[in-house]
Amino acid sequence: MVGIDSAFYGRAMANMTVASDLPPLPVYELRPMPDLLPFISDFWLSLIAPHIAYWAVSLVFHIIDVYDLFPQHRLHTPEEITQRNLATRYEVARDVIIEQIIQIATSTVLSLTELRQMTGMEDYDVAVWATRIRLAQRSLPSLLGLLGLNAASISKNMAANHPFLAGALAGGHYPFLGTVLDAGTQVPTFAAWELLVAKAIYWLIIPAFQLWVAVCFVDTWQYFWHRAMHMNKWMYTKWHARHHRLYVPYAYGALYNHPVEGFVLDTLGAGIAYKVSFLSPRLGMWFFVCSMMKTVDDHCGYKLPWDPLQHITSNNAAYHDIHHQSWGIKTNFSQPFLTFWDKILGTRWEGNTSEKYERTRAAAATKKTTSTATSTAATMANKDKKAQ
């Protein structure tokens, strides 16, 4: 951020505001925003970054799973993975890659509809917000008057010790703030607090609000489509049943879907969320990366106390895992961020899960023992035949 000083205003005469008591707005020169990384363009980075994040996070959980590093935090035993899941790891990886190819193709089309992101206007936009803050202060005397307070009198009494507070109470009047332009003309300037608030609005509040809109849209889109795929027998059989072949979810199976479901539920929903929330291309890239990491974490199969993604909201791996169980399949439709639709529409699982998990663990262990015994018996029988 360029410092706000006399040079900031020295270029401002072409953008003088109509009201002479308002600080002038700076001129600006737009230029293409440099790429985030020097070795790859933002266009290509936006296409591959979410999928790099997907496989990177999946690899971490895969290592944890294979080496059984945190057995005390497992939601399911290794026996459950081998005995209960109906899709092989190869089938899961194959279908995930197919969906990611579709996502990259969709992201390419989406990126081509965007103008190249520009920079250079930031100081101007901050100054516009500072101007709005200055104009908003003009209503303070009237508001205080409604409360029976004399703003002019209060401002005068505070002027010596608290000049900026006095200026705000006087309706944004700061006669002691100003700078001299190169031509010798004196113009008013913004107070430091006005610029600080304007920067917070521009750099923090507005992006946070845009991300909140995107999150709420994705959650709403996915909840109703997801629920519809469970309530409509045809959609469930043709599309969504494939994802539920993983009764015991694991990280890289997060995007194990039928291609139609994957496009409608994940790809299309995220793309529309990006558009309706007016995210910038770079902010959109971070949104897609974080969304991908979240959905992987939700299927990781572990309830980890030190995993930040499992504590930001109550929609986490333990919450979504319930939905993958036969006894919880008609609950916990919300994904991937919040749970408000489950709460509002009464589809949140409210029962105790401890006994149900213990029962499925025991059943898987018994099934493995039986399978092992059968296999051993068959092997021994084959050996006896050969011996004869």
pLDDT per residue rounded down to tens, the chain (388 residues): 333 343 333 343 334 333 458 999 999 999 999 999 999 999 999 999 999 999 999 999 999 999 999 999 999 998 898 899 999 999 999 999 999 999 999 999 999 999 889 999 999 999 999 999 999 999 999 999 999 999 889 988 988 899 999 999 999 999 889 888 776 788 899 999 999 999 999 999 999 999 999 999 999 999 999 999 999 999 999 999 999 999 999 999 999 999 999 999 999 999 999 999 999 999 999 999 999 999 999 999 999 999 999 999 999 999 999 999 999 999 999 999 999 999 999 999 998 999 999 998 888 888 767 766 555 555 655 665 665 5
Enter the tokens of residue 20. Answer: 């002479």
* Predicted local confidence at residue 5, as pLDDT: 41
What does the alpha-carbon distance between residue 343 and residue 61 come to, in Å, rounded to a whole number?
A: 29
What does the alpha-carbon distance between residue 78 and residue 71 come to, in Å, rounded to a whole number?
A: 9
Does residue 186 sit in helix, strand or coil? strand
* Predicted local confidence at residue 185, as pLDDT: 81
* Predicted local confidence at residue 2, as pLDDT: 37
- Sign of the four-CA dihedral 354, 356, 360, 362: positive
* Predicted local confidence at residue 364, as pLDDT: 84
CA-atom Rg of the chain in angstroms: 30
* Predicted local confidence at residue 222, as pLDDT: 97
Pairing of strands 31-32, 179-180: unpaired
**What are the CA-CA distances from residue 363 to residues 163, 353, 369 (Å)?**
75, 16, 10
> Any bridge partners for residue 302, and if so which?
74
Q: Is residue 176 within 8 Å of 164, Cβ to Cβ?
A: no
What does the alpha-carbon distance between residue 216 and residue 340 come to, in Å, rounded to a whole number?
A: 9
Q: What are phi and psi of 159, to 5 degrees?
A: -60, -40
Does residue 50 sit in helix, strand or coil? helix
What does the alpha-carbon distance between residue 319 and residue 308 come to, in Å, rounded to a whole number?
A: 15
pLDDT digits (tens, 9 = 90+) for 344-384: 999 999 989 999 999 988 888 887 677 665 555 556 556 65
Pairing of strands 118-119, 186-187: unpaired
Minimal CA–CA distance to 106: which of 268, 258, 223? 268
What does the alpha-carbon distance between residue 36 and residue 45 come to, in Å, rounded to a whole number?
A: 9
* Predicted local confidence at residue 375, as pLDDT: 58
**What are the CA-CA distances from residue 312 to residues 207, 297, 316 (Å)?**
18, 12, 9
How does DSSP assign 57-126, residue by residue? HHHHHHHHHHTT--GGGBSS-HHHHHHH--S-HHHHHHHHHHHHHHHHHHHHHHHHTSPPPEES-HHHHH
What does the alpha-carbon distance between residue 257 and residue 99 come to, in Å, rounded to a whole number?
A: 8
User: What single letter denotes the amino acid at residue 268?
Assistant: L
* Predicted local confidence at residue 12, as pLDDT: 39
Q: What are phi and psi of 119, to 5 degrees?
A: -135, 170
What does the alpha-carbon distance between residue 170 and residue 150 come to, in Å, rounded to a whole number?
A: 10
- Report pTM: 0.87
